[in-house]
Amino acid sequence: MAALKDLRDRIRSLRNTQQITKAMKQVAAAKIRRAEQAKKQARPYADTLDEMLRDLLVNVSSVDHPFMKPGRSGAPSGVILMTADKGLAGAFNANIIREAEQYRNSHSDALFYSVGIKARNAVRRLGQPDRPTWPLSAQPKISTAREVAARVTEDFDRGAISDITLVSAQMISMMVQRPYARTLVPVEPSARDEAKAQAGPRGAVEFAPSPEFVLSRLLPKYLEFTLFAAMLETDAAFFAAQLVAMNNATDNAGKLIDELTVHMNNARQAAITKELLEIVSGAEALAKA
């Protein structure tokens, strides 16, 4: 009977857990719709900003701006590690942190700037000194992106770091979220930009008041909005991963409940059979006496 009671308690506990995971699944489904909507609303501005920057890089031979030059030689790399604030999303945060650890293996002196509570905890585990941390869930996100951009820009300008690299999540689909690292500063033309520049003669482009002035206004906005877009994408990717994780947890809890129910029924049937045998045996003993 003790085993039967334990099975009932486990089934009751699993049902409670299943209700929690089901509720978290519904919350994640609602939040991911809002996160995807915010990401879609920001995409036109991001695309236009990127197109303007690429056009400037193609049409301008040289620009005197700190973001267009390599950082101070010998300075450590600056890494912005961006994760979610919470867990219960499978290996989502762990995969991003693993990507940062792999980057650190080739850049042992890297300095980390953490966005997200999980990123802060990971940086501490890596033995890094406490540095400014920004929660991903802080509102409004654009203000957080400006603060992060201002801090890393200040460190880059004064030579504390040699470059700015972002390690965050990329949402491929609802089922696939991949971590990736990309260098944001110094800004360098991509292979596509170089091919576009060499494709043929370009028309004369006039800048007012000057290319330097245009880029001096555009590049800080580029860094701010790149970080803002990464925060929106990390949010959407996190809720997608949490939705999948909670759906799997709910299904697994249901399977365990079914298995334990079978074991409980077998144990209860065995207990009933044992009692019947004891009654029959007692009756036969009395009859023989």
What pLDDT, on a 0 to 100 scale, did the predictor assign at position 127?
83
Give every CB contact of residue 4 below 8 A, 6+ residues apart in sequence.
264, 267, 268, 271
Which pLDDT does position 122 carry in this prediction? 92
Asked, for residue 213, whether it belongs to a domain, the answer is yes
Answer yes or no: is 11 within a domain: no
Q: What pLDDT shows up at residue 62?
A: 63
Q: What pLDDT does 50 receive? A: 78
**Count of CB atoms situated within 10 Å of the CB of 99:** 18
Which long-range CB contacts under 8 A does 44-52 form with residues at least 24 apart?
A: 45/225, 46/225, 46/226, 46/229, 49/218, 49/221, 49/222, 49/225, 50/222, 52/218
Residue 89 to residue 241: CA distance in whole angstroms? 5
Distance CA 67, CA 157 (A): 9
Q: Are 185 and 222 in contact (CB under 8 A)?
A: no
Q: Is residue 281 a part of any domain in this protein?
A: no
List per-residue pLDDT tens for the chain, 289 residues long: 457 888 889 999 999 999 999 999 999 999 998 888 888 888 788 778 877 777 777 666 566 677 878 888 889 999 999 999 998 899 999 999 999 999 999 988 899 999 999 999 999 988 877 678 899 988 899 999 999 999 999 999 999 999 999 999 988 888 889 999 999 888 876 645 555 545 555 555 566 666 667 767 788 888 999 999 999 999 999 999 999 999 999 999 999 999 999 988 888 888 888 888 888 888 787 777 6
pLDDT of 135 reads 93
pLDDT at residue 2, as a whole number? 52
Question: Is position 29 within any domain?
Answer: no
Domain extent, residue 127, equals: 63-195+203-239
Q: How far apart are CA 96 and CA 227, in angstroms?
A: 16
> Does 45 fall in a domain?
no
Q: What is the pLDDT, as a whole number, of residue 204?
A: 55
Confidence at residue 190, expressed as pLDDT on a 0 to 100 scale: 60
The total domain count for the chain is: 1
CB 115 within 8 A of CB 147: no
Sheet holding 177-185, edge to edge: 133-134, 111-115, 78-82, 164-171, 177-185
pLDDT digits (tens, 9 = 90+) for 246-286: 999 999 999 999 999 998 888 888 888 888 888 888 878 77
Angle at which helices 2-59 and 211-288 cross, to 10°: 170
Q: What's the CA dihedral at 251, 257, 263, 269 to 10 degrees? A: -130
Provide the H-helix boundaries in the chain. 2-59, 92-106, 117-125, 141-157, 191-197, 211-288
Per residue in 56-74, pLDDT (tens digit) is 776 665 666 778 788 888 8
In a domain, 231, yes or no: yes
Residues in the chain: 289
Asked if 238 and 92 count as a contact pair (C-beta separation under 8 A), the reply is yes
CATH number of the domain that residue 90 is part of: 3.40.1380.10
In a domain, 98, yes or no: yes
Residue 216 belongs to a domain: yes
